[in-house]
Amino acid sequence: MKLYGIVNCDTVKKARTWLEQHKAEYQFHDFKKQGLEPELAQCWLQQIGWENLINRKGLTWRGLSAEQKQVIQDNTSALTLLLEKTSVIKRPLLEQDGKLLHIGFDKTSYEKIFNFKP
């Protein structure tokens, strides 16, 4: 199990806290320190599409110019943005063996994924 995100993101912090409190085994991948492999980003785009992977409510997206936003029309054009500005990715992303299990943090979803009984 791998959790992708940025250390100082509040939602990532909530997910990591939950995982640690429930002694769930996972690896953390920090986009800021470790980057993002193009093949992995492409895999995610194929699974859920750019509309679901890009956080259009976040500061990074809002900081783009209108022209930059207009360029993003499909998975191919989104790939460049994801690789250049990893903070535009919704987070955290929970992944196992290349399959995205969940985006964001939701206690109920994590309980199901990790078979945790409250």
* Given the residues 3, 9, 15, 41, the one annotated as active site: 9
Give the tokens for residue 106: 């939701």
Active site residue 9: yes
Q: What is the DSSP string of 42-92?
A: HHHHHHH-HHHHB-TTSHHHHTS-HHHHHH--SHHHHHHHHHH-GGGB-S-
Report, as residue numbers or ranges, the catalytic residues. 9
